[in-house]
Structure 1
């Protein structure tokens, strides 16, 4: 059975001190552990992160899909989780975090910076009619 995309990224992350290959080569990554809002099942979402003060911001883009990714709904239902955070320099730290959706003003500021510096996210925004949420993860 072929390894799915997320499973491959998680495996690479853990085998290579937080470094993964395409399409994330050289980018800071995070593995967000979350609990299914309906199922209660433990899951892991491999995501890019962006620094904003003392928090890590992740983007619920789902590559421009019409619906928010499942991990976003799970974090909103169960916001106290654990994350494995790669610093981009070969270090990984596992920390307890609290997830919270950024408010509109904060989101607009951070989203403008993300799109300006990471063009792929602007493409995702063009593909969907929904407002793409940003989630801040802060150390508990």
Structure 2
């Protein structure tokens, strides 16, 4: 799963390499936003919050500046690639 830290926030990107459907984890987080994250040696619980359209639109150019491939993925699909902020709970 792709993630970036944008403006101090941990953001996961539902690109699915530009497929026309969302990855399964997007549906899972929408149904139950509680999750456990492991990044390297870090391990923590989070609550996922899907970025609403205005926040998503502001964050996406920062994502593509850091990782241009996500712009290519967005161009390949008609769906809007969802972004989720993972907020640590512990």
Report the TM-score, using the length of structure 2 for normalisation: 0.91
Q: What is the Cα deviation at residue 49 of structure 1?
A: 1.5
CA distance in 2, matches of 1:64, 1:52: 21
CA distance in 2, matches of 1:107, 1:125: 13
Which one scores higher on RCO, CA 8 angstroms, separation ≥ 6? Answer: 2
**Kept in 2: contact 1:63–1:124 (CA 8 A):** yes
CA RMSD, 1 decimal: 1.2
Equivalent residue in structure 2 for 1:124, among 68, 73, 81: 73
Which structure features the higher share of helix residues?
Answer: 2
Alignment: residue pair count: 89
**Kept in 1: contact 2:10–2:86 (CA 8 A):** yes
Deviation >4 Å, runs of 4+: none
SS in 2 for 1:115: helix
Q: What is the Cα deviation at residue 48 of structure 1?
A: 2.5
Structure with greater Cα Rg: 1
Equivalent residue in structure 1 for 2:11, among 22, 45, 57: 57
Equivalent residue in structure 1 for 2:50, among 91, 95, 101: 101
**C-alpha deviations, 1:43-84, integer Å up to 9, x for none?**
xxxx22211345310100110000111000001101111000
| Unaligned ranges ≥5, structure 2 | none
